[in-house]
Amino acid sequence: MHISRPASRPGPSRHCGKLPRRSALASALAGATLCLGLGALPAATLAQGVEVRSARTLDFAIAAGPLAAALDRYARSAGINLSYDAALVAGLSSPGLQGGYTVADGLATLLAGTGLEAVAQAGGYSLRRAPAAANAARPATTLAEVRVKARRAGDGTTEDSGSYTSRVTSIASKTDMAFREIPQSVSVITREQINDQKLVDINDALKLMPGITANRVNDNTYNFYSRGFQITSMQVDGGAPLALGAYTYGPLQDMAFYDRVEVMRGASGLLGGMGDPGGIINLARKKPLAERQAIVELSAGSWDNYRAMADLSGPLNEAASLRGRAVVLYENRDDHLDHRNTEKPALYGVLEADLGERTLLTLGGSYTRRNETGGGSGLPLYADGSSPRYKRSDSLTQSWAYKDSDETELFAQLAHTFSSGWALKFNLTHSETETEADTAFVGGPVDPVTHQGVWAGGHYEYENRQDLADINLSGSFDLFGRSHELLVGADWQRVKSRWVSATFPGHWSDPAEVLDGGGEWNPDRDVSQRSHTRFGPWGQEQVGGYAVLRLHPTDRLHLIAGARASRYEFDQRISSKANAAAPWVVSSDLPFSLKTKITPYGGVIYDFTDNWSAYLSYASIYKPQSLMLYGPPPGSRSLDPIEGKSYEAGVKGELYGGRLNATFSVFKVERSGTALQDSRYPSNYDAWAGNCCYLPQGKVTSRGVDVEIGGELMPGWQAAVGYTYNISRDEKASTNYSSITPRHLLKLSTAYTLPGELWRWKVGGSAHIQSDTSVSDTITLNGNTQPYDFKQGGYAVVNAMVQYRLDPKWTLALNLNNLFDRVYYERIGTVSDGNWYGTPFNAMLTLRYQH
């Protein structure tokens, strides 16, 4: 069975039997002989069962993919014990097996062209290299079925795994580790889930991610929350984190470029820089394959939604030491919202070069062009929080509104493994987004008599540039007769943004008929003679060093200790001018810096059985809030950083050799210092400016439970299920801290390949079920302040999927979203704006070719 990463502790998911701990390099060279199927039964019972099953024909439905995964499924389907050295199957792939076979014939067919053969033995089979004569006797045509898909082993790649889980992840460690080796909650959306559930972009993926609340910001971007707190950091390939949220950067990555999405919930400051206790996201890019592969997808769906994608990969020289991959796509779609259309061509390319046996260089980049028509900021409400009778198609925008953006990303990675087994990794990323827009949207609150809101809009130009670098060294060392691991590294992040705006005449004053889609609004859009406001230069820079030590006092006890030292600087300048030709006049300049801060991290893992571990972890919280200012107006200085602690304890299981992962955890977060509006001064909030006036809030706590199971439940049946219970409290005010985070959140996705003669069919779907959410605040109208409440009751949204395999290369899939056409608000904002209906029932038909 394929070993995802060198074993660091015993267990049947890694070995049959109990082996002493070895260094990473020694384990990788030695491999392991793993047992599948019924290894816990007596040999005599196994032998009898094998004899009975070997004599009859069984139906198999094993998809093409890595040979290790195919053998694994075959052993469980056939009910046999199958053992082999992992090195024998490393890098080999299988065309799959469909139809009726005896056990022996099926196994022989599965191994055809691999140079391996199965040998019967007591209780099952073992694999060995076939004699040269037997190999020579095979027809040359069978060699075409050998699919050496993966150059890499144990790096967490999920492509062609057919799985809804990953055997390893690097999100919490910079090195490849099993989920059981991470003392925090970790989730993954695999390539198989992305394909099955038709997840187009990162927003779709994170909506399906357990424990994550996706909160819509505008037409196509979302903020993401975990455990009541916003996630503000996102890694790509485990590098230094991109800054999400308030830096004119919204994650819009297309899933055609990525192998998987990972999320670690809980404090992430150790490897993610300064951040909140919500967690961190990691995107893993698609990488070149060692053999030629072509994938083409053509999709058509509701509201004239059309999409075409081609993904080509393979070696670029005879020795396959240079490999490449290119993904191109084109999307053109309308929307269920009026006046909305998006056109998106995109390109991704990556090259890998083996610079010797131990050094790998990766270079790549992507480019996306978005041309969007329409816009909006969500629906406004009446002043008491009640909702006008909107149609779900109401966007309250204009057809002349547009937003054009260019998104470019360049990256380079260098990985070298020394003869000692230590590994050096260097990761560089440059991300750049430029946007120009004319906006039109309606704000409120809506007048209950006239049913009017007011129009707002203007011309905007903004850009975001992020430069990221990460270097780290990791490896194992021996101490007191045992092997331990150490990771040391440093990262750097620089964010530079610029935002220029000029509003149209009638901004926040022209009436809008909200029950008539807003009506017509045609302001003079020539802003050359109007005043302009510029936020910029504007951004942050942080540099940090980190270290993680993993000690293994016994085979079952594992201690993790880490720390990060960080420096942080922020600069935000506001300028204005009377018209396009006038000079800029600086109105605010707020440089901000923090001294070096050390944040510790620690964890304990105990393997109380070979498949189950208990863990406890601690992480500190340290988050700057440089845009929040003390009074009096316009603000004297920034508030001190938020500080706090995060605790998590739980149990993790790694079952069926890593094909199924389970986590049961409880967590508690304590933090203090969050900005709270200072009631002595009028409110003045702008996401892009220094805001006044605020005081540091008292203690905030978040408590809850996470339960997650993901992977293969039985042959042909994949599932990912996650349930989160969360309560967040403002202890000083004795109120709910994050009312947009549901107390109960259940997410699931599943796919089942039908058995026997129905093997061509795969059925499944996904569901999002949550309890109610609400927003309570006050609003001042005509000098009077009044409270309002707006509540979205609990709801369930169900999606369905059915696929039919036309032949080994072609598949036809139908995805039905919001199957029961549930009407709900996917995001509730304020009485002024930010309220978004969930998407109505829609369908997508996809024809997929893979060879």
Please, which residues have CB within 8 angstroms of residue 705's CB and are 6 or more apart in sequence? 664, 665, 666, 667, 723, 724, 725
Q: Which residue has the higher pLDDT, 529 or 734?
A: 529
> Is the CA virtual torsion 139, 142, 144, 149 positive or negative?
negative
Answer with the residue of higher pLDDT: 575 or 309.
Answer: 309
What per-residue confidence (pLDDT) applies to 74? 79
Tell whether the model's pLDDT for residue 843 goes beyond 50: yes
Nearest to 95 by CA among 132, 126, 60: 60
Residue with tokens 């040269």: 132
The correct CATH number of 168-285 out of 3.30.413.10, 2.170.130.10, 3.40.50.300, 3.40.47.10 is 2.170.130.10
Contact 182, 173 (CB under 8 A): yes
Share of the chain above pLDDT 70, in %: 87
Whether 314 and 292 have beta carbons less than 8 Å apart is answered as yes
How does pLDDT run across 315-360, given as a tens digit for each residue? 999 999 999 999 999 999 999 999 999 999 999 999 999 999 899 9
φ, ψ of residue 553 in degrees (nearest 5):
-60, -30
Asked whether this chain's domains 24-141 and 293-314+322-850 adopt the same fold, the reply is no
Does position 38 have pLDDT exceeding 70, yes or no? no
Residue 282 pLDDT level (bands cut at 50, 70, 90): very high
What mean pLDDT is reported for the chain?
A: 85
> What CA–CA distance (Å, rounded) separates 558 from 14?
17
pLDDT at 687: 63
DSSP 63-76: -SEEHHHHHHHHHH
The residue among 300, 304, 298, 360 whose CA lies nearest residue 329 is 298
Dihedral-angle region of residue 39 (phi above 0 means left; psi in -120 to 50 means alpha; beta otherwise):
alpha
- Tell me yes or no: is domain 293-314+322-850 CATH 2.40.170.20: yes
Closest CA to 576 of 715, 469, 689: 689
Q: What pLDDT digit, counting tens, does each position of 145-167 carry?
A: 333 333 333 568 899 889 999 98
Asked if 453 and 517 count as a contact pair (C-beta separation under 8 A), the reply is: no
Residue 776 has pLDDT above 90, yes or no: no
What pLDDT, on a 0 to 100 scale, did the predictor assign at position 135?
41
**For 550-595, what is each residue's pLDDT tens digit?**
999 999 999 999 999 999 998 888 899 988 889 999 887 878 888 8
Residue 598: how many other CB atoms lie within 10 Å: 12
Task: Give me the pLDDT at residue 780, please.
Answer: 76
Q: In this model, does residue 243 exceed pLDDT 50? A: yes
Structural domain spans, the chain: 24-141, 168-285, 293-314+322-850
3-state secondary structure of 272: helix
Report pLDDT digits (tens) over 660-697: 999 999 999 999 988 888 878 877 766 667 778 888 88
| pLDDT score for 275 | 67
Summarize the confidence of residues 22-35 as an average pLDDT.
33
Does the structure show a pLDDT above 80 at 271? Answer: no
Q: Which CATH number describes the domain made up of 24-141? A: 3.55.50.30
Contact between 644 and 672 under an 8 Å Cβ cutoff? The reply is: yes
801: confidence class by pLDDT, cuts 50, 70, 90:
very high
The confidence score (pLDDT) of residue 36 equals 29
What's the mean pLDDT in 54-67?
65
* Residue 94 predicted with pLDDT over 80: no
**What pLDDT is stored for residue 653 in this prediction?**
95
Confidence of residue 286 (pLDDT cuts 50, 70, 90): very high
Look at residue 616 in the predicted model and tell me its pLDDT: 97
Q: What are phi and psi of 271, to 5 degrees?
A: -115, -5
Name the CA radius of gyration of the chain, rounded: 28
- Res. 21: pLDDT tops 80: no
Q: Confirm if 210 and 722 have CB atoms less than 8 A apart.
A: yes
For 427, residues 6+ apart whose C-beta sits below 8 A from its C-beta are 237, 238, 239, 240, 411, 412, 413, 468, 469, 470, 471
Residue 56 has pLDDT above 70, yes or no: no
pTM (two decimals): 0.82
Q: Which residue has the higher pLDDT, 139 or 271?
A: 271
Backbone phi, psi, residue 269, to 5°? -65, -20
DSSP three-state, residue 181: helix
Secondary structure of residue 116 in the 3-state scheme: strand
